[in-house]
Amino acid sequence: MASKVLVLGASGTVGRPLVRALVAKGVSVKAASRSGAPIEGAEGVRFDFGDPATYGPALEVVDGAYLLAPTGTTDVPGRLLPVVEAAAARGVKIVLQTVMGADADEANPYRRVERAVEASGRPFVILRPNWFADNFHTFWKPGVAVGEIALPAGDGASSFVDARDIADSAVGALTSDRFDGHAFTLTGPQALGYAAAAEVLSSALGRPVAYRAIDDETFVAALVSGGVPEDYARFLATIFEPVRAGHTAPTTGDVETLSGHAPRTLADYARDNAAALSS
């Protein structure tokens, strides 16, 4: 069990509820962010993937670390591998967040990082979450706001996972050695296509939200017109390929195994985040 934990991305979608849950459990936490400000009652520490000088101070006197790639990068190994190396050199247990299906292809950039963690000689747990339910009030919020979510997902279904369940699973991985050396795929309890997901959102918000399937080029063009770099926009388009192929539809019991409770449904997510979806 880690007695002091470093959480990267502590102000983010998973990081913030993870810090909150660890603090509530009595775990000492260093909440890492670019600003270094305290978060959710935890000690703040400055961390910047682009500044290796921040790695040592962030990892100082911790025995566990929650690592994940920053949003917006297309070079996951370039960002994460130096941090994995620094954590391993300091004898830190690593809990790594990657993505569902990372293990299906050894060339997958997330799999490269997983392999480095597995070879680090340190205790580790790998968490592979499916698509976040929370994407509906972050990345896809502009579409929700106007009542139409346009994505290149086709008719594919996903077992959307609530970020709070990822955080609760990470708490289990960080505060116990029972799961060391294993990888877990984190999903919600059911798979829904985006049209069905839009119906769930409509019910929670009390107004219509629809889904429109678009092709990759239309998706990329929309992102680029909104200021997203083209290389990252094309990367985002590629990650919908597994959705269309049905690879994001399976469900697992891994959230319950790690957290001790059943995963939240998309309806639970929409009800609890109605304000964020509407603002």
- Number of independent structural domains in the chain: 2
pLDDT digits 0-9 by tens, 234-252 = 999 999 999 999 999 999 9
CATH number at residue 146: 3.90.25.10
Structure tokens at 213: 């399937």
Residue 152 and residue 93 in one domain: no
**Within 10 Å of residue 267's Cβ, how many Cβ atoms?**
16
Among 110, 129, 148, the domain boundary falls at: 129
Residue 122 and residue 149 in one domain: no
18 DSSP assignment: H
CATH number at residue 70: 3.40.50.720
Residue 137 and residue 80 in one domain: no
Residue 10 and residue 49 in one domain: yes
Residue 33's closest CA among 71, 90, 63? Answer: 71
Whole-Å CA distances, 235 to 113, 151, 223, 230: 18, 14, 11, 9
Question: By residue range, what is the domain housing residue 91?
Answer: 4-129
In a domain, 39, yes or no: yes
Structure tokens at 23: 């603090």
Residue 125's closest CA among 160, 195, 176? Answer: 176
Residue 156 and residue 276 in one domain: yes
pLDDT (0 to 100) of residue 2: 67
Residue 148 and residue 93 in one domain: no
Residue 151 and residue 100 in one domain: no
Residue 202 and residue 224 in one domain: yes
Residue 35 and residue 114 in one domain: yes
In a domain, 9, yes or no: yes
In a domain, 170, yes or no: no
- Give the burial class of 231: count Cβ atoms within 10 A of its Cβ; 0-12 exposed, 13-18 middle, 19 or more buried: exposed
In a domain, 172, yes or no: no
Rounded Cα distance, 275 and 167, in Å: 21
Bridge-partner residues for 64, per DSSP?
Answer: 5, 93
Residue 137 and residue 245 in one domain: yes
In a domain, 176, yes or no: no
Rounded Cα distance, 204 and 277, in Å: 9
**Within 10 Å of residue 210's Cβ, how many Cβ atoms?**
15
Residue 79 and residue 114 in one domain: yes
CB 53 within 8 A of CB 67: no
Residue 166's closest CA among 245, 269, 247, 75? Answer: 269
pLDDT (0 to 100) of residue 1: 62
User: Letter for the amino acid at 170?
Assistant: A
Q: Where are the beta strands (DSSP E) in the chain?
A: 4-7, 28-33, 43-46, 64-67, 93-97, 124-129, 148-151, 157-158, 182-186, 192-193, 210-213
Half-sphere exposure of 17 (CA within 13 A, CB side): 12
| Phi, psi dihedrals of residue 172, rounded to the nearest 5° | -60, -40
In a domain, 35, yes or no: yes
By DSSP bridging, strand 192-193 and strand 157-158 are: antiparallel
Instruction: Reduce the DSSP state of residue 109 to 3 states and report it.
Output: helix
Residue 13 and residue 76 in one domain: yes
Which residues of the chain have a pLDDT value below 50? none
Structure tokens at 43: 């000690």
In a domain, 99, yes or no: yes
In a domain, 274, yes or no: yes
User: Letter for the amino acid at 90?
Assistant: R
Instruction: Reduce the DSSP state of residue 250 to 3 states and report it.
Output: coil
Element (H, E) at 254: helix 254-259
Among 113, 129, 145, the domain boundary falls at: 129
